[in-house]
Amino acid sequence: MNFQWYPGHMTKAKRAMQEDIRLIDVVIELVDARIPISSKNPDIDTLANNKSRIILLNKSDMADPEFLTDWIQYYENEGYLALAVNAKQKSGLKQVNALIQKACQEKIERDRKRGILNRPVRAMIVGIPNVGKSTFINSFAGRACTKTGNKPGVTKGKQWIRLNKQVELLDTPGILWPKFEDQTVGQHLAFIGSIKDELIQSTELALDLIEFLATFYPGVLADNYSLTEEKPKVEILRQLAENRGCIQKGNEPDYDKAAFMLLDDFRNARLGRITIERPAKNGG
């Protein structure tokens, strides 16, 4: 399957982010806890060079709890501060503040030595579309925050949200586009619904998901759709279509409809908490 993205938007967004990052002390990057590698755009490593870095594994409520700690460990080994969060239910967010302070310890210390006390650190949220950036900003900033407005010369045109005495957050997140030179990355992004459905052959994608689930989460398909898993994937999709009444003219199974149903169930965690990508145990 070949996936395309929109280079025009990408260049513009990247340029805007380059500008914004100059004003920032710490870059808080959201990735999807179900695909923590494919939902991370490697360009940010160059863009955020020399900045403190935090990785938040968002949508952790939909990810398999078994792998969350492994992923945190993986990113810590890579030199990030990492945490699992659920921006929608606001869980894990309190710890983010402490993490920001930790990430900016050196800067705070440097300021203190220069006699600059209580200068808030400046943070920015970045991530691919749909990873939960806006939800995170709303949840994290809460109601108590105040927009600080523009400070002439320093933050021209930028809106900052004063979170507390120590932290200011740029109110517009940086959008990174997924990078998928590797087709597996495209497939994983499509599984979680981060690629427009018009660009995808849903039946083919659903067959890939069936293969993944039957291999790594045996029993999930059988339990949710009352079907037999020990069959070829097309046969599994046919059973799913029949058991869920996805039938078209001529009493034939409607594979497309069944495919959409399966993808939608997976994307909304109706099949349970499932993680597509697993870190290698050696941290590599």
Q: Is 275 in the site for ligand G4P (CB under 6 A)?
A: no
User: Residues 12-48, buried b or exposed e (16+ Cβ, 10 A)?
Assistant: ebbeebeebbeebbbbbbbbbbbbbbbbbbeebeebb
Q: Is 135 in the site for ligand G4P (CB under 6 A)?
A: yes
Q: Is 127 in the site for ligand G4P (CB under 6 A)?
A: yes
- In angstroms and rounded to an integer, the radius of gyration of the C-alpha atoms of the chain is 21
The number of beta carbons lying within 10 Å of the beta carbon of residue 257 is 18
> Which position among 62, 99, 214, 237 is part of the footprint of ligand G4P (CB under 6 A)?
62
CB of 87 or CB of 205, closer to ligand G4P: 87
Q: Is 134 in the site for ligand G4P (CB under 6 A)?
A: yes
CB of 41 to ligand G4P, least distance (A): 12
CB of 270 to ligand G4P, least distance (A): 12
**26-32/121-127 β-pairing:** parallel
Q: Which of 53, 59, 41, 47 is nearest to 177 (CA)?
A: 41
Q: Is 187 in the site for ligand G4P (CB under 6 A)?
A: no
Q: How far apart are CA 104 and CA 125, in angstroms?
A: 15
Q: Is 178 in the site for ligand G4P (CB under 6 A)?
A: no
CB of 108 or CB of 261, closer to ligand G4P: 261
Q: Which residues pair with 57 in a beta bridge?
A: 31, 84
Q: Is 86 in the site for ligand G4P (CB under 6 A)?
A: yes
CB of 176 to ligand G4P, least distance (A): 10
CB of 128 to ligand G4P, least distance (A): 7
* Phi-psi sector, 200: left (phi>0), alpha (psi -120 to 50), beta: beta
Q: Where along the sequence are the contacts to ligand G4P (CB under 6 A)? A: 58-59, 61-62, 86-88, 127, 129-135
